[in-house]
């Protein structure tokens, strides 16, 4: 991913990610996920915001049929 961004003259300096899922609990995995994302994008872990929320039992995510993720970077 870092190479793709660089080819277009871009680089990520901050990343904010939200994962929407009923299960599994994300909190125990956050450090490893931050490390993997950081390695992929060439970012320090403190430049990556990673949080999770549930869909309160609503829709396909709430029925545990899927997981959604949203990210914003600059």
Structural domains in the chain, CATH included, are 2-73 (3.30.1330.50)
- The whole-number pLDDT of residue 11 equals 85
Residue found by looking up tokens 């993720």 in the block? 69
- The whole-number pLDDT of residue 5 equals 83
- The whole-number pLDDT of residue 56 equals 93
Residue found by looking up tokens 């490390």 in the block? 35
Low pLDDT (below 70) residues in the chain: none
Instruction: Supply the DSSP string of 3-69, one letter for each residue.
Output: HHHHHTT---S-EEEEEE-SSS--GGGHHHHHHHHHHHHT--GGGEEEEEE--TT-HHHHTTS--EE
- The whole-number pLDDT of residue 61 equals 94
- The whole-number pLDDT of residue 2 equals 81
């Amino acid at each position: 991913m870092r190479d793709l961004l660089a080819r277009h003259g871009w680089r990520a300096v901050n990343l904010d990610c939200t994962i929407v899922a009923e299960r599994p609990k994300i909190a125990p995995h956050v450090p490893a996920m931050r490390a993997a994302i950081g390695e992929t994008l060439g970012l320090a872990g403190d430049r990556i915001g990673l949080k999770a929320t549930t869909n309160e039992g609503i829709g396909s995510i709430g029925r545990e049929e899927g997981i959604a993720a949203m990210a914003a970077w600059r």
